[in-house]
Amino acid sequence: MKITRQLLFFSFVFLLFTCKEQKQEPLVINGKDKVYDTEIEDKVNQLLSRMTLEEKIGQMNQYNGFWDLTGPEPKAGAAAKKYEHLRKGYVGSMLNVRGVSEVRKVQKIAVEDSRLGIPLIIGFDVIHGYKTLSPIPLAESASWDLEAIKKSAQMAAEEASAAGINWTFAPMVDISRDARWGRVMEGAGEDTFLGSKIAEARVRGFQGDDLSQFNSIAACAKHLAAYGFAESGRDYNTADIGTSTLHNVVLPPFKAAKDAGVRTVMNSFNELNGIPATADEYLQRDILKGKWNFDGFIVSDWGSITEMIAHGYAKDGSHAAELAVKAGSDMDMESYLYVEELAQLVKEGKVKESLIDDSVRRILRVKYELGLFDDPYKYCNETREKEVIGSEKIHAASLDMAKKSIVLLKNEKNLLPLKKKGQKIALIGALASDKTSPLGSWRIAADDSTAVSVLEGLHQYEGNTITYAKGADVSIGKSQFATEVKINTDDKTGFNEAIQAAKSADVVVMVLGEHGFQSGEGRSRTELGLPGVQQELLEAIHKVNKNIVLVLNNGRPLTISWADENIPAIVEAWQLGTESGHAIAQVLYGDYNPSGKLPMTFPRNVGQVPLYYNYKSTGRPILPAPDVVFWSHYQDQVNSPLYPFGHGLSYTTFKYEDIAVQNNYNTTGKVEVTVTLTNTGKLKGKEVVQLYIRDLYASITRPVKELKGFELVELNPGESKNITFTLTKDELGFFNNQGEFLLEPGDFKIFIGGSSYTTLESEFKIEP
């Protein structure tokens, strides 16, 4: 039986090659930008013409792995059905099957046992690395270093592809302005311009220049759309945003990913303006596949098709499948509804077979592009797996990215960098010795306790003595992946030991914040302070020693107003991945001069959230007189954030001067803006020079500031550099409520500086 199928498969492959026509010129479809590879299109069409309806629907079906293929074949339950479906060719993709030997097993069934032998595409959440983790995406975004971010994605692809994986569910390109939402850790922060550039860098990193290379994998821009606008920051909650926000804030990073060639897109769990995104025809068919001409495929989010019943949108499973496929969702992740319902829907005439054909064509196209038909086992090389996973090269890249992701929030009296000799250092905090938390919550393939802790990192420097005291546990709550579960603790028994250590220390380094499992999917919070009794610990230590360096570990902005007022040095170190402790130690000791800038605003308290730098002015933005009540403000808190978007210090200092607009938009079609940056400190350092615009009046009101350019510049002490930014209609225009892009004449302000709070400004006009 097996032999006959194998023969069939090989004769099929032979047929494809012999039928291959001479390579033709690429075909331009619809006169738009997509150029198809006609050779692949021919193969896709030939294969499609040989498929039964059930086999076509099978390609649209994705199953989760996790069943024991090494043991006996499962005989009962859902796993048995999945196995049988795999053999029948009713599965197009699997996720969470990983490691060469496991991937080879499922691929072998699909390729050798099914009638047509169509290879599986193997998906996995390679969010910030596979087994060797780089910083969480929010942290990487703090580097504003697009080359480094691209390289990090490249390294992730290198490692994951060596483990048999050829498709990642990344990058998450959701913009979010709400630190309560746990998944802010997975994105690029609050800004659309920065988010779009990072989306592009990540897609290019994962996919490389040639998708058919053995070390590049297909990327997936997710979650279409507005998942990051979940009301009250509660994951999976309803999103209700206006068209201006949709087109100007939410969609551009998806467009940037599409333009960078992303091969897949994932829709989202949330409903948007009353329609679950999975069934949103406007987003998927009209915009993504229509206006943008996206020719890859859309995968649903996990069970999001069936969840439309709970949303109150679909009557039952059959209805949900019908709605999803009509709206353009090509692949069903773990709802089992396409495989169960679509054939019947086609037979009843409720779903046209041409819709199924379109989805299958898209899926097969990506499989051909990956080279899976040429060699379904191209990602299954045991020697490569051994050599690549955890290699020195990948660790070095992870360390490099980790250092670049650190943001120096505050550094009074140059408490940092630490002296390398003769110091007594008290190191305090459970997170300081934690080797799991720095891995974050998206670390399915990484083993517990594989990160370098801060304690280990500091021990690399032998000139000082270190006394470590935990002080208090960090509460991590329940976690799907954590092997160790600590529930909120008010245990202060460790305080005394920590206080004693601090009393006799020259400097206290406190590593406090959230455990890696406190942010991520399903991990929203209503309080954004230091969890558990860590705030009390900080205050208790401060009573006995004021020389504190606070190192924050967190997956989101935290409300740390007390620390900002009382602690002289604060370092934002997020969750930095496998090399975390080394990176933190090198920054604390000044072997690396930090240059990170916040990709999200830090609020003063939760009541200010959502708080973001590119807000709208309102009609009452400014306090008219000291005793006036009726203006846009709070009675109990100022409007400004604790740390603004774009903020971040260095061990050196920079001066900005001579901002000037060089030319006239009306005569040249662009605006060139220059500024001079000087390193006024004593150390070599890097600065992210940021350019913001304000369109003073427009047919759709524009934000008070919008990032429209940035450049990472490295300068020696005393060195100056002239920097030029070029603004074209792409940066100066905006979308109206119909989703049309406009550039309107009018008055603009330009701001350049080291954060969104810069006041160095100039102006220009676009004449009618």
Using the rule CB under 6 A, which residue among 55, 191, 301, 341 binds ligand BGC? 301
Minimum CB separation of residue 194 from ligand BGC in Å reads 21
Host H or E run for residue 692: strand 685-695
174 part of the interface to ligand BGC, by CB under 6 A: no
How many chain residues are in contact with ligand BGC, going by CB under 6 A?
A: 7
Return d(Cα 704, Cα 587) in angstroms, integer: 34
- Which DSSP state fits 602? B
H-only helix segments in 353-430: 353-369, 382-388, 392-405
Q: Which is nearer to ligand BGC, 170 or 530 (CB)?
A: 170
Q: Which is nearer to ligand BGC, 53 or 309 (CB)?
A: 309
169 part of the interface to ligand BGC, by CB under 6 A: yes
Residue 226 CA, distance from chain mean position: 14
Residues 222-251 that bind ligand BGC (CB under 6 A): 222
| Backbone phi and psi for residue 622, each to the nearest 5 degrees, phi listed first | -120, 135
Q: List the structure tokens of 203.
A: 């897609």
**Per-residue contact flags (x/-) with ligand BGC for residues 691 to 710, judged by CB under 6 A:** --------------------
Minimum CB separation of residue 530 from ligand BGC in Å reads 27
254 part of the interface to ligand BGC, by CB under 6 A: no
Return d(Cα 404, Cα 397) in angstroms, integer: 11
Residue linked to tokens 């030029």 = 724
Burial label for 445, CB within 10 Å (0-12, 13-18, 19+), is buried
In this structure, how many other beta carbons lie within 10 angstroms of the beta carbon of residue 563?
A: 24
302 part of the interface to ligand BGC, by CB under 6 A: yes
CB 266 within 8 A of CB 220: yes
Host H or E run for residue 714: strand 706-715
| Backbone phi and psi for residue 326, each to the nearest 5 degrees, phi listed first | -65, -35
Minimum CB separation of residue 686 from ligand BGC in Å reads 32
Minimum CB separation of residue 754 from ligand BGC in Å reads 33
Minimum CB separation of residue 185 from ligand BGC in Å reads 12
Return d(Cα 168, Cα 163) in angstroms, integer: 12
* Catalytic (active-site) positions: 301
Residues 71-100 that bind ligand BGC (CB under 6 A): 95
* CA-to-CA dists, residue 353 to 285, 358, 359, 372, angstroms: 17, 9, 10, 25
Return d(Cα 491, Cα 511) in angstroms, integer: 18
Q: Which is nearer to ligand BGC, 15 or 78 (CB)?
A: 78
Host H or E run for residue 686: strand 685-695
Across the beta sheet with 548-553, what order do the strands follow?
407-411, 569-572, 548-553, 507-513, 424-428, 465-469
Minimum CB separation of residue 95 from ligand BGC in Å reads 6
In this structure, how many other beta carbons lie within 10 angstroms of the beta carbon of residue 85?
A: 18
Q: Which is nearer to ligand BGC, 230 or 689 (CB)?
A: 230
Q: Which is nearer to ligand BGC, 202 or 222 (CB)?
A: 222
Q: Which is nearer to ligand BGC, 219 or 394 (CB)?
A: 219
Residues 508-537 that bind ligand BGC (CB under 6 A): 521
Q: Which is nearer to ligand BGC, 301 or 369 (CB)?
A: 301
CB 388 within 8 A of CB 162: yes
What is the Cβ-side half-sphere exposure of residue 94, based on CA atoms within 13 angstroms? 30
Q: List the structure tokens of 538.
A: 């900080």
Return d(Cα 292, Cα 271) in angstroms, integer: 22
Minimum CB separation of residue 125 from ligand BGC in Å reads 5
Q: List the structure tokens of 417.
A: 């960098």
Query: Could you tell me which residues come within 8 angstroms of residue 528 by beta carbon, excluding any fewer than 6 positions away?
Result: 179, 180, 556, 557, 558, 559, 603, 605, 606, 609
Q: Which is nearer to ligand BGC, 168 or 411 (CB)?
A: 168
Q: Which is nearer to ligand BGC, 222 or 604 (CB)?
A: 222
CB 66 within 8 A of CB 96: yes
CB 406 within 8 A of CB 594: yes
Q: List the structure tokens of 542.
A: 């401060």
Return d(Cα 239, Cα 233) in angstroms, integer: 10
Q: Which is nearer to ligand BGC, 187 or 754 (CB)?
A: 187
Return d(Cα 89, Cα 118) in angstroms, integer: 7
**Per-residue contact flags (x/-) with ligand BGC for residues 390 to 429, judged by CB under 6 A:** ----------------------------------------
Q: Which is nearer to ligand BGC, 257 or 345 (CB)?
A: 257
Task: Report which residue type is found at 328.
Answer: G
Q: List the structure tokens of 543.
A: 């009573």
Minimum CB separation of residue 269 from ligand BGC in Å reads 6
Which of 669, 612, 699, 722 is CA-nearest to residue 194?
612
Query: Could you tell me which residues come within 8 angstroms of residue 7 by beta carbon, excluding any fewer than 6 positions away?
Result: none
Closest-by-Cβ residue to ligand BGC is: 169
271 part of the interface to ligand BGC, by CB under 6 A: no
Using the rule CB under 6 A, which residue among 41, 125, 158, 687 binds ligand BGC? 125
Q: Which is nearer to ligand BGC, 143 or 441 (CB)?
A: 441
Instruction: Name the residues that contact ligand BGC, by CB under 6 A.
Output: 95, 125, 169, 222, 301-302, 521
